[in-house]
Amino acid sequence: MINHHISDESLLDFASGALGEAWSIAVASHLTFCTQCRDRLSEMEALGGLLLSSIDPVSGGMNDSFEAIRGRLDEGKKLKSNVSKVKRASNLFPQPLAHYIGNDLNGLDWRRLGLKAHQIIVKTSDESATARLLKIQEGEPIPEHSHDGLEMTLVISGAYSDVSGRYGRGDFQEADEEIEHRPVVEMGEECICLTVTNAPLRFSNLTTRIVQPILGV
């Protein structure tokens, strides 16, 4: 059961093609889990279609703007087509993410990120943000931190909890400069998450801040 969903702002950006590639992977992957957000996306796309059809482009700048809007709507078609084909995530990795990393958990090249965590950088052409898989052992906390930018997190397996609640498979969290949290992975299963960030995290602990450039987070 999905308890945490994509914000209206991020979903609208995705629907219009204005969301970057790294962010779009996270949003499209959540959509394969969540019927509620897929329904909201359909409503936004239908409304966007009505608005576009009501525009009467004229020569000059307005026509250029009209074509630019159409172009941006086309940008997200590749990822959104994956959503329309996959009504639910039946494998471990949802199809939009599996398109980038495959679906073989044991075949992934995990890199150590501290003593009890590992990561994989998801390769994209997006220079505005970084997408990564995180794998954290059961019962372990992520050091307390805030954000200099936006952080999107999608839970792939396992679960964690922080000040805003519990996040299990398919749940989606958006954190910005106003949120400071210390997610703790539940006992019983390691937690694998897809996270996307556009700025380094701001850790509270001095030791973590010292090694942060080495860790690359």
Domain boundaries, the chain: 8-98, 100-215
Contact 195, 167 (CB under 8 A): no
What gap in Å lies between CA 114 and CA 147, rounded to an integer? 20
- What is the pLDDT, as a whole number, of residue 80? 52
**What per-residue string of b and e applies to 159-173 under the rule 16 or more CB within 10 Å gives b?**
bbebeeeebbbbbbb
pLDDT at 61 over 90: no
Stretch 201-214: mean pLDDT: 53
pTM of structure: 0.77
CATH architecture assigned to 100-215 = Sandwich (2.60)
- What is the pLDDT, as a whole number, of residue 85? 47
How far, CA to CA in Å, does 168 sit from each of 38, 149, 184, 198?
18, 24, 12, 23
- What is the pLDDT, as a whole number, of residue 86? 44
End-to-end Cα distance, the chain: 30
What gap in Å lies between CA 165 and CA 122, rounded to an integer? 27
CATH of 8-98, one of 1.10.760, 1.10.10, 1.10.101, 1.20.1070: 1.10.10
pLDDT at 82 over 70: no
Q: What does the pLDDT look like over 65-77, one tens digit per residue?
A: 444 444 544 544 4
Stretch 39-45: mean pLDDT: 90
